[in-house]
Chain A
Amino acid sequence: MMLNVDNVSVRYGAVMALSGVSIEVSGGGCLHSIIGPNGAGKSTLMDAIVGKRKPTSGRILYRGEDITRKSEIWRRHNGMSRSFQRTSIFPGLTVREQLELVAHKLGDKRVDDVVEVMDLGDVLDVPAGQTAYGVQRRVDVALGLIGNPTLLLLDEPGAGLSAEETAGLFDHLRMLVRERRMQAVVVEHDVDAVFRLSDVISVLDLGKHVATGTPKEIRANPAVIAAYLGSEQ
Chain B
Amino acid sequence: MSLTLIANSLALSSLYIMMASGLALIYGLRGVLNFGHGAIYMVGAYLGYTLGSIMGFWPAVFMVPLIMGLSGLLLEVFVLRPLNARSHIEVALVTFGIGLILAHGIIWIYGGFPQSVSGPAGLAGSVDLLGVEYPAYRLFLIVIGLGSVAALACWLNFSRMGMFVRAVSQNPQVSSMMGINAGRLSLFVSCLSTGFAGLAGVLVGPYLSIDPGMDIAMIINCMIIVVIGGTGSLFGAILASILFGFVQTFGAVHTPGLAVLLPYLLLICVLVWRPQGLGRGRAA
Whether A and B touch (Cβ < 8 Å) is answered with no
